[in-house]
Structure 1
Amino acid sequence: MTETERTEPSGLRRRSVLLGAVAGAGALALGAGPLATPAQAASFVKGADVSWLPQMEAQGYSWNNSAGVRQDLFTILKGYGITAISLRTWVNPSSDPANGHCSIEETAQLAKRAKDAGMQVLIGFHFGDTWNSVGVQNPPAAWASMTYGQMLDAMYDYVYHACNIIKYYGVTPAWVKIGNETNSGICKPVGSISRPAQMTGLLNAAYDMSKQVFPSTPVLVHLAQPQNLAGVQNFLNAYRDNGGRWDITGLSSYAQGGNVPAVLANMQTIQSGYGKPVMQVEYGGPVGKPTQVRDSLRAFVSGLQGFGGLGTFFWEPEGYPSFNAYNSSAWDESTRRPTAAMDGFLNG
């Protein structure tokens, strides 16, 4: 990619260029529901977020299949019917193995590897330098002192640049996720939900730039805790009422056992209430309770399929407790074999 391709056009010029193209896409998103794409029309998506994979491999971690034979992780995942990989990306991350990396260059390289393995790819923007989640929405350090207008330009530039790097590596994402668990907004305080017009402006800039580079790729907003229906609706109402554009509602839920049916009912309410299909973009459970995690995963898969939900992603199933003390994976570190939790993707 040339330097010109990486930097042009500027945020203001880009918005001018987009008036025609985005107006059409936005009208479709707002008026006629999600864009009809091959990815959406395909069968129910079973996926996994494996963003830690390169850092774990660099530290010597490996994974065995259920027979105890060491294999490439993507090969093992495909054996469980997983067809899609979710990858997060941060703006200016540190080099910390567990809480850094995931720059757009690294993410694009891993996306290419996933594509070469025959997997679809979901690219998830956190709009921060490290974790953003339902309780934390910090802007990148370089944006922290910006006014809303400056941050809007930075958002246009960043997403346009990032999507072109993904494209440069030969990957067209099946989905792009703008923000991570954005119940309280993004890049706070500038994009806080208490400033809904600014929150919506920033997210619409990300939506528009994604569509500029990948016109047919559906764009997700992402909310956590669907068990708290009012909290999810609070965001979606503010976003919709201020002209927010999105194609799919992404939801995180790690519910287990008897808590699953109520969460599924809320997911169905969210789907019908906003006219956008839902996708469970995060799921997981205690590594020490694999049969519970398996059965709850099966309940989510069958329940989502029952009302037309698009898919389920397991969050970092390959993680080991010795790597960042992660205890919600689906691999037994002592044997390096998948646990019974992974069987939740089978026969579902």
Structure 2
Amino acid sequence: MKLATYRDGSRDGQLVVVSRDLQSAHYATGIAHKLQQVLDDWNFLAPQLQDLYDTLNGGKARHAFPFDPAQCMAPLPRAYQWADGSAYLNHVELVRAARNAEVPKTFYEDPLMYQGGSDDFLGPQEDARFLSEEWGIDFEAEVAVVTGDVPMGAGPEQALDGVRLLMIANDWSLRNLIPNELAKGFGFFQSKPATAFSPVAVTPDELGDAWEGGRIQLVLQSAWNGRKVGMCDAGPDMTFHFGQLISHICKTRNVRAGTIVGSGTVSNKGVIDAKGRTEWPKGYSCIAEKRAIETIQDGKPSTEFMRFGDTIRIEMKGKDGQSVFGAIEQRVVGPAQPA
């Protein structure tokens, strides 16, 4: 099934069930008001939502209305936890190669992960506001999951069973703030502003065999200022699957229902052309990776980071060519003008 959260003036919005084709929706008021309620009581409430979803898809829901992504908040407008990994080691390899740094062997054995802010997510069509272009504004196209309760010590298989919903994300980064923060040895903070999520979150069964081994085997598309820059396959180059990422969190703590876990920037390996030069035909899911590629190829980056007025669109389509999660469509804006 597909679920979304409509704006209603409150912090947590109103839960709606969305049709498979993303054309119609129905308020879930008679079952649950908020998505977190469903995650807290999944075994009881999810089947009821599934019944409503089936009725909606069958065209028999009496109070259905046209679905409008512009009315959506993030599916979980605020969450108990947002833990973002860096599961595509190709991305790490490129960024480190650009500065002549090796990737430690431990990176291939133990996932990279940071804990981001989860109290204020952005909706899929909400402007991304920043106070300065000099901060190095960058989009990051990712996939993410929402979990139920997963106990401390859970292995990857048990952890994977805890996945309730799938989403796509734009995990904004401020690249020029990152070096000084990491130099402190305490991780990201100011350099990782509010993350945006897709209009809808979907249960894994909606993807059919495209949800395999804890990975989404579909292409994540990114278009910057209307120009397609990324057609990255989210499946084959994901070094750590979502079961492994969740299990990593579970090593020392319980994971509670409503935790969101991100994949990190979706990234694909390069290919060597006839002249022996490495190319990246599937493009990129963040500007930092494009700049790393340019540095490797040409000795220096030539692509600038985003400016006020720039737009980014991130979307994933199923094997039938239809949008799975709806699109993230955001505009970068500057400081709010005084009234």
TM-score category, normalised to shorter length: under 0.3
The answer to which structure has the higher strand fraction is 2
Q: Which has the higher contact order (CA 8 A, sep 6+)?
A: 2
The answer to which structure has the higher helix fraction is 1
Q: Normalising to structure 2: TM-score of the pair? A: 0.23
